[in-house]
Amino acid sequence: MRDKDNALPALFTALVTGANRGIGWAVAKGLLEAGHQVYFGCRSKEEELKSRVADLPGGERGEVVRLDLNDSASIDGAVESILHRSGRVDILVNNAGIVRDKLLVRMEEADFREVIDVNLVGPFRMVRAVLRPMMKQRYGRIISISSVVGTTGNAGQANYAASKGGLEAFSKSVALEVGTRGITVNVVAPGFIETDMTAGLPESVTSGVLDRIPVRRFGTGEEIAHAVRFLADPAAGYITGAVIPVNGGLAMP
Ligand SMILES: NC(=O)c1ccc[n+]([C@@H]2O[C@H](COP(=O)([O-])OP(=O)(O)OC[C@H]3O[C@@H](n4cnc5c(N)ncnc54)[C@H](OP(=O)(O)O)[C@@H]3O)[C@@H](O)[C@H]2O)c1
């Protein structure tokens, strides 16, 4: 049943972390194309990003906001500024993430903590910052980008896989807490996507991986953006606590 007093706005307000490049850029662009007002979160070079956003179709609905996941104050500041400027925050995409790949015998505690801090504590900080406003407006779409390795594990990525598996469990838990408030919490789990993160992989690794992907290619940021747009839509209100794989068939549930 729809809450009649809770009319949805004509324009939804979205925030994407790490939106200056890679998957985040494609996701933010996709949400702009879907007609939303989009805040492109970035932690540096805001001026350069502002001019790129202004040049996009629908760029007049794009805003740039400084946001560093390692810095709680910058997260709270970004969300406050969005609420001040737009009055609401409807869609959060936890996209920003890092890798510090090493076999466990060589992995320092700092390598482990750094990845957990950005990839898992970062989304916790983000969700905590937007949850009250979303609960108040009785509407929200929270979408986090995990990874196929969050389920399968991956040699050399114990820190990264732990962060992504944790992000999936975290999202399911929050979905249970806010299901009655019109807020859905979901995860998109990409396989190998063409971005800076995979650009440095040696040829031997790339060809080995391609052999295991049924569609025999890496995915694109736009293909991740498509899944995010789907989950961000008001019509996706009956999907929550889900992990949507977008991996060319690399790992089938
Ligand atoms: N590419 C893949 O194959 C793949 C596969 C599965 C999952 N994913 C996940 O998809 C997401 C995006 O990956 P990508 O390939 O687009 O990565 P990418 O090209 O390396 O971009 C990473 C983004 O995260 C931002 N970022 C890193 N640390 C941050 C921090 N402390 N605060 C705020 N922003 C920060 C970066 O900002 P700067 O530009 O300032 O560094 C950049 O915008 C990540 O969560 C990644 O784990 C990627």
Residue-wise pLDDT tens digits, 140-164 = 999 999 999 999 999 999 999 999 9
| Buried/exposed 194-231: b ≥16 CB within 10 Å, e otherwise | ebebbeeeeeeeeeeeeeebeeeebbebebbbebbbbb
Q: How many other C-beta atoms lie within 10 A of the C-beta of residue 232?
A: 25
Pocket probe mutation, ligand 1, options 95, 148, 170, 209, max atoms within 8 Å of Cβ: 95
Nearest residue (CA) to ligand 1, atom 31:
69
pTM of the prediction? Answer: 0.97
**pLDDT at residue 183 tops 60:** yes
Nearest residue (CA) to ligand 1, atom 47:
97
Pocket probe mutation, ligand 1, options 15, 21, 114, max atoms within 8 Å of Cβ: 21
Tell me, yes or no, whether 39 lies in a domain: yes
Tell me, yes or no, whether 5 lies in a domain: no
Q: What is the pLDDT of residues 41-78, one digit of tens each?
A: 999 999 999 999 999 999 999 999 999 999 999 999 99
Catalytically active residues, by annotation: 160
**pLDDT at residue 242 tops 80:** yes
Give residue 168's domain range: 13-192+220-246
Per-residue pLDDT, averaged over 12-32, amounts to 98
User: What is the 98 CA–ligand 1 centroid distance (Å)?
Assistant: 5
Tell me, yes or no, whether 212 lies in a domain: no
- Residue 152: CATH number of its domain: 3.40.50.720
**pLDDT at residue 215 tops 70:** yes
Tell me, yes or no, whether 31 lies in a domain: yes
